[in-house]
Amino acid sequence: MRPAQSDDRRLRPELMDDPALGLAETERALADLDRVTFWSGGLLPARHTLARRLATGPRRQALLDLGTGSGLVAAKLATTAARAGVRLLTVGCDRKLSHLVYGRRRGHRQLRVVARAEELPFAGDAFDWSLSTLLLHHFDRAESLLVIDEMRRVARAGAVVIDLRRSRLASLLFRPLAALLRMGAVATYDGVVSLEQAWTAAEIERLAAELPVVELRRRFPFRLSLVIAAAAVPEDGRAAPGRPRRMV
């Protein structure tokens, strides 16, 4: 049993999480998020964390991308893997169908599934890797651990979490960047909220204290990367905890 923690995450809802958000506003926001991800270097953390691991694995692998949005990050990872001679099948999972439809229209190649990250409709070890990018800050501590447990359950090699790292400087820089990129109101509002409710390095360390952590790093720009070993499946069905790792 995991010990209780004191981190109290009182989360504000983001506009893109609202099921009533119109399709045009949703697609504008997704396009804005892709642009800010690209121009801010937001593709680098997932690439740096996974590229070497993919290259040293089998020549054919499968990746589950949780909260995939348009599917941009998974598509770039597939391109990176292909350069290393690895054929990467990506499955994008999102709880909003409109996000997956937009990704298909953008031409990002992946299979797409509507599902909640806390309750994935996949068998154990269905994938080589599971990935979440800028998803975990949408959940409180208990929900986050449930998502990570599901990510570990379905991935035989391990789970990778890339998320925002709370920083006053990041919050100060975001609005000028949003104005420069002419981001719409939805993506700008959600970006501000996301940065305010992002995890700190210390909070991530406490969250992962009882997990089998392989790697825990600060990443540019204002990101955290967390690599967790897959869930072992002993006779009692429970995964053994690993040693906590210090943030590097």
pLDDT in tens, the chain (248 residues): 344 444 566 789 999 999 999 999 999 999 999 999 999 999 999 999 999 999 999 999 999 999 999 999 999 999 999 999 999 999 999 999 999 999 999 988 899 999 999 999 999 999 999 999 999 999 999 999 999 999 999 999 999 999 999 999 999 999 999 999 999 999 999 999 999 999 999 999 999 999 999 999 999 999 999 999 998 754 444 444 444 455 55
- Is the pTM for the entire model greater than 0.75? yes
- Using alpha carbons only, how large is the chain's radius of gyration in Å? 17
Which of 148, 138, 177 is closest to 241 using CA atoms? 148
Q: Which of 74, 234, 81, 41 is nearest to 160 (CA)?
A: 74
Q: Kind and range of the H or E element at 169?
A: helix 168-180
> How many Å apart are CA 127 and CA 81, to the nearest integer?
15
- The helix (H) or strand (E) run that includes residue 88 is strand 87-94
CA distance 225 to 148: 13
Cα–Cα distance, 170 to 108 (Å, whole number): 29
pLDDT at 107: 85
Question: What fold, for 15-228?
Answer: Rossmann fold (3.40.50)
